[in-house]
Amino acid sequence: MVSPLLVADIQGTIKQSFELSRLYSLVAVYAGILAVSMVCTYFQAMILQKTGQKILSQIRLDTFTHIEQLSHAQLNQIPVGKLVTRVTNDPNSISYLFTNILVTLAKNSLVIFPIIFQKFSRHVHRTVNNARTDVNTYLSENLSGMKVTQIFNQEQRKMDEFLARSKRLEKTKMNRMFVFGIFRPMVYMLFVTSNLFLFYIGCKGYIKDTTFLGQTITSETVVAFYMYISRFFNPIQALAEQFDMLEQSFAAAEKIFTILDMVPEVVDEPDAIELKEMKGEIEFRDVWFAYNPGEWVLKGVSFHVYPKQTVAFVGATGSGKSTILSLICRNYDIQKGQILIDGIDIRHIKIASLRSHFGQMLQDVFLFAGDIRSNIVLRSDNVTDEDVWQACRYVNADGFVRKLDGGLDEAVREQGNNFSAGQRQLLSFARTILHKPSVMILDEATANIDTETEVLIQDSLEKMKNIRTMLIVAHRLSTIQHADNIILLSHGEIMEQGTHQELLHLKGRYYQLYTLQFRKQQLQES
């Protein structure tokens, strides 16, 4: 604010008395002001960048943490590509708001133009963000399923679908450029008009002192006023250049808050307790559950699992077997009934405490990029290499691990793609055993592996029998013949339950399934 007055004073000194000493003093003061301004600008940039990066990291952390708290049902509704965009791309857009645009807004007195223009531009940015998210979601899904695309010779169709989404994104971006192409010339036109008016007044002032609105206008006044006009319009011009990013930041913030505003469906009750030890007793009391309202997956299911028992669930696809295992871990909340662990309703146990007592082996094993050791250790603290090797020996995984060049340090690629399905399952089994769970859950754990690996896993399971509670879901009835209790489900209801021999004597649905599989096995062997 001071420098325009100094420049005007310098100009007046030159025009009138030309006092050299006074001129030197004014120039020195002006140079000092410029130096201070440069230092302040430097520290402003450093502080803003540091603040912006902290805010960016916090937004990413808050978004990722909130996603971790969402229930399985909520996560199933959101494509992975969309979640990736919310955690990566959108925070980047918001960070620009804190590092650049807010300063411009603070300097800008004439905010009425962006406020009016905002009504027209916000919709454009929403469409761009939606189109970008659509592209990211499509990429995430199809890159993961590229092998299937190649197997079914669908490369051309997938390319056409991707091209259509890319064209849609291109079109929305062109629409955005058209809208913002209008805003910039408007601001520039105001700036030029002001300068032309000042030029007219200034020309008269340089010829002779003139008056405007009853005030005397000198050449010094014109110089100072010109600098003030430039400083007045510079932030507006900068905002015109940055308004695209400003609206992009607002649109990105809206997308992030759609995630942050989602209320987790499965949360700890206010009076939830820590379960330090678990005996492994599980009871379902008249449990009703539906993923979608009115579409019951479980209908009045009741059963009792005693500590250290092995209980198997069998039945056709969609009968509710895997759902029962998910409900025990409280991945979902039931609509009616009760699920008890050691006589305590699981809703009265803290979720983290409850799940820490379970070990799960699923049909689809997920390994993280890293090495074998980090994938087996995962959530355990203070674990030695000897503990890891002991877990590998217990599940018969040490044989193939020792043959690897790196041993426990052998690299694991994304999703463990450099290992066979059987090897991945053995590593998953070792990871589960290392945590010493009170309850073992096996959901079709041997469905996609070779016979040799299945024998190794079955041998390990026999060691664990009567040591901890085991819940098993299996289609191959030969793998669960020695279970203490077998529960046959059909359309969400328990049809039969008992030991293998008891169910065969009933000669009901289990007998039919076993006979069918036994005959099929005989035909394959012959």
**CATH code, 321:** 3.40.50.300
Mean predicted confidence (pLDDT) in 287-295: 93
Of 317-321, 353-357, 474-478, 507-511, minimum mean pLDDT range: 474-478
pTM of the model: 0.70
Q: What share of the chain is helix, strand, coil (3-state, %, to 5)?
A: 60, 15, 25
Return the H-helix or E-strand segment holding 160.
helix 155-207
Q: Is residue 272 part of a domain?
A: no
Per-residue model confidence (pLDDT) at position 500: 93
Same domain, 244 and 303: no
Yes or no: say if 174 and 131 are a contact pair by the CB < 8 Å rule: no
Residue 79 structure tokens: 């494509």
pLDDT over 90 at 494, yes or no: yes
Same domain, 386 and 352: yes
Per the structure, the count of domains in the chain is 2
Q: Please tell me which residue, 285 or 263, carries the higher pLDDT value.
A: 285
CATH code at position 232: 1.20.1560.10
Model confidence at 302, pLDDT cuts 50, 70, 90, reads: very high
pLDDT over 80 at 200, yes or no: no
Per-residue model confidence (pLDDT) at position 305: 96
Q: Is residue 426 part of a domain?
A: yes
Same domain, 235 and 297: no
Nearest by Cα to 441 from 428, 450, 453: 428
Nearest by Cα to 446 from 487, 482, 474: 474
Same domain, 314 and 241: no
Per-residue model confidence (pLDDT) at position 253: 82
Q: Is residue 206 part of a domain?
A: yes
Yes or no: say if 356 and 350 are a contact pair by the CB < 8 Å rule: no
Model confidence at 433, pLDDT cuts 50, 70, 90, reads: confident
Same domain, 322 and 201: no
Model confidence at 108, pLDDT cuts 50, 70, 90, reads: low
Instruction: Please give the backbone phi and psi of residue 300, each rounded to the nearest 5 degrees, phi first.
Output: 65, 40
Q: Please tell me which residue, 261 or 147, carries the higher pLDDT value.
A: 261
Same domain, 292 and 364: yes
Per-residue model confidence (pLDDT) at position 133: 80
| Sequence-distant (≥ 6) Cβ neighbours of residue 299 within 8 angstroms | 288, 491, 492, 493
Model confidence at 310, pLDDT cuts 50, 70, 90, reads: very high
Q: Is residue 68 part of a domain?
A: yes
Per-residue model confidence (pLDDT) at position 109: 45
Pairing of strands 370-371, 215-217: unpaired
Q: Is residue 172 part of a domain?
A: no
Tens digits of residue pLDDT in 134-187: 888 787 777 776 766 766 667 788 888 888 888 888 888 777 777 666 666 666
Same domain, 196 and 301: no
Per-residue model confidence (pLDDT) at position 21: 63
Same domain, 474 and 351: yes
Among residues 261, 294, 328, which one ends one of the domains? Answer: 261
Q: Is residue 169 part of a domain?
A: no
* Residue 255, domain extent: 2-111+183-261
Tens digits of residue pLDDT in 10-54: 555 555 555 556 556 656 766 776 777 778 777 777 777 777 778
Among residues 261, 293, 311, which one ends one of the domains? Answer: 261
Mean predicted confidence (pLDDT) in 3-7: 53
Same domain, 237 and 299: no
Per-residue model confidence (pLDDT) at position 13: 53
Same domain, 202 and 247: yes
Token pair 């197997």 is found at: 151
Same domain, 235 and 292: no
pLDDT over 50 at 343, yes or no: yes
pLDDT over 60 at 86, yes or no: yes
For 483, counting Cβ atoms within 10 Å of its Cβ (0-12 exposed, 13-18 middle, 19+ buried), the class is buried
Model confidence at 120, pLDDT cuts 50, 70, 90, reads: low
Mean predicted confidence (pLDDT) in 90-100: 71
Ranges assigned E (strand) in 201-273:
210-212, 215-217
Long-range CB pairs of 294-303, under 8 A, 24+ apart, other chains included = 296/492, 297/323, 297/492, 298/323, 298/324, 298/327, 298/334, 298/492, 298/493, 299/491, 299/492, 299/493, 300/337, 300/493, 301/337, 301/489, 301/492, 301/493, 301/494, 302/494, 303/485, 303/487, 303/494, 303/497
Per-residue model confidence (pLDDT) at position 388: 92
Q: Is residue 176 part of a domain?
A: no
Residue 423 structure tokens: 């090897």
Same domain, 297 and 236: no
Q: Is residue 79 part of a domain?
A: yes
Among residues 231, 261, 291, which one ends one of the domains? Answer: 261
Model confidence at 328, pLDDT cuts 50, 70, 90, reads: very high
Instruction: Return the top range by mean pLDDT from 177-181, 228-232, 308-312.
Output: 308-312
Mean of per-residue pLDDT scores for the chain: 79
Nearest by Cα to 499 from 511, 516, 512, 490: 511
pLDDT over 70 at 351, yes or no: yes
Per-residue model confidence (pLDDT) at position 213: 47
pLDDT over 80 at 487, yes or no: yes
